Structure 1
Amino acid sequence: MVCGGFTCSKNALCALNVVYLLVSLLLIGIAGWGKGYGVVSSISVIGGIIGVGVFLFFIALVGFIGASKHHQVLLFFYMVVLFLLFIIQLCISFYCLGMNRESQETMLHYAWERMDNDTKTDVQNNLKCCGFFQKETYDCPKVCSTQQCLDCGDLMLQHAAEVLHVCGGVGLFFSFTEILGVWLAARFRNQKDPRANPSAFL
């Protein structure tokens, strides 16, 4: 039996937004955990993750309220924002999946040069490496004084392809859940609430 009724569409849209709410809380929790346990000490990285989590939380909240109350304006706003996120995420996912090694090296070098010192120190301590490709220009972590350390660039490039494929695949999967949310919201907006006054305007 196809889910075509008002109640089924409403429940499906609410369930999708509950999943988004849980993912947003997970992002915020992971950022707090990383800061609390000293995995990442950079405020900019923590702030970025928390910002994405808070943004997703509010979008999911708008979608959930719009679905539960059949609110036309909130559902329209939710559809527009989710469709824009779908386009952006789809493009980024394809870029991650299609990136070659030269592009990976350029991207990593660009990111390394713009990292603050706290983030560089975290990377060097966690990977037990020193510098990007120039050890002499960076303060190496203490662990490198007692053993031979590789360049951080070499270590990051070893894992870059795998990480990019995983990120691209996960992003591609979630982009299709977003287009599903747009479709559900558009469909639900045009359905008449069977409990409402039959002569009321949608």
Structure 2
Amino acid sequence: MACGGFACSKNCLCALNLLYTLVSLLLIGIAAWGIGFGLISSFKVVGVVIAVGVFLFFIALVGLIGAVKHHQVLLFFYMIILLLVFIVQFSVSCACLALNEEQQSELLEVGWTNTNSARSDIERNLNCCGFRVFYANATCAADCLRTLQCRPCAPIMEEYAGMVLRFVGGIGLFFSFTEILGVWLTYRYRNQKDPRANPSAFI
């Protein structure tokens, strides 16, 4: 059957949801790996990553079941949720790509101030102490504290902040377009008749 027919729409929707399933499992696996190797000790950060992974997994599962069974209600809710996720993800991705250096610095300072456990992870992994200024009598998880020759963390973080935000924004933007593709495919697939079904049956 030519692409654009019932079978093609079904297969494309199934493939898209299998991709989302793999991405969700990858997110959960990365969070578990970070905890297992001691790279991340902040349960808030890990909890958010795992929650996003589980949410994406359930969305992909709903889409996959709806596509395989041509279930109208599941496909409708899948389409609405995917559209909402697209709007949020597209907005966040554009914001990440649009932040200038001053805004990035302010964002890093807010994150530094509000997360104690993530702060320890940053100090240990980047081998730095303090945000803007290093105090010799400060409590710090970095190895450099033994020699009292630590650099503040802000300059090191700012070196990578722009690159990380561009990377995250680019990946988010790419996946947001796959979501709008998923919405379009679902809309089209819902309005197609299954050629194997009774021709007189209502869709």
Partner of 1:121: 120
Whether 2:157 is the aligned partner of 1:152: answer no
In the TM superposition, residue 138 of structure 1 has moved relative to its aligned partner by: 4.2
Whether 2:174 is the aligned partner of 1:173: answer yes
Total equivalences in the alignment: 201
In the TM superposition, residue 179 of structure 1 has moved relative to its aligned partner by: 0.3
CA distance in 2 between counterparts of 1:103 and 1:2 reads 50
Report the TM-score, using the length of structure 1 for normalisation: 0.95
Identity %: 59
Contact 2:13/2:186 (<8 A) preserved: yes
Partner of 1:73: 73
In the TM superposition, residue 147 of structure 1 has moved relative to its aligned partner by: 5.3
In the TM superposition, residue 143 of structure 1 has moved relative to its aligned partner by: 2.5
In the TM superposition, residue 139 of structure 1 has moved relative to its aligned partner by: 1.2
State the one-letter code of the partner of 1:19.
Answer: L
State the one-letter code of the partner of 1:134.
Answer: V
CA distance in 1 between counterparts of 2:202 and 2:122 reads 58
SS of equivalent to 1:135: coil
State the one-letter code of the partner of 2:161.
Answer: A
Deviations 1:55-89 (CA, angstroms, capped at 9, x unpaired): 00000000000000000010010111111111111
State the one-letter code of the partner of 1:123.
Answer: I
Partner of 1:13: 13
State the one-letter code of the partner of 1:172.
Answer: L
Using a 3 Å threshold, how does the CA distance of structure 1 residues 102 and 9 change in structure 2: closer, same or farther?
Answer: same
CA distance in 1 between counterparts of 2:163 and 2:88 reads 21
In the TM superposition, residue 52 of structure 1 has moved relative to its aligned partner by: 0.4
In the TM superposition, residue 2 of structure 1 has moved relative to its aligned partner by: 5.8
Whether 2:108 is the aligned partner of 1:143: answer no
Partner of 1:200: 201
CA distance in 2 between counterparts of 1:135 and 1:62 reads 50
Partner of 1:57: 57
In the TM superposition, residue 149 of structure 1 has moved relative to its aligned partner by: 1.6
Partner of 1:48: 48
Deviations 1:30-62 (CA, angstroms, capped at 9, x unpaired): 111110110101111111110000000000000
Deviations 1:158-181 (CA, angstroms, capped at 9, x unpaired): 111111111111111110000000
Deviations 1:102-135 (CA, angstroms, capped at 9, x unpaired): 100110111111112x221111010001111133
In the TM superposition, residue 94 of structure 1 has moved relative to its aligned partner by: 0.9
Structure 2 segments unaligned to the other structure (5+ residues): none
SS of equivalent to 2:58: helix
Contact 2:134/2:150 (<8 A) preserved: no
CA distance in 2 between counterparts of 1:51 and 1:200 reads 40
State the one-letter code of the partner of 1:121.
Answer: S
CA distance in 2 between counterparts of 1:49 and 1:25 reads 11
CA distance in 2 between counterparts of 1:119 and 1:47 reads 13
Contact 2:2/2:8 (<8 A) preserved: no
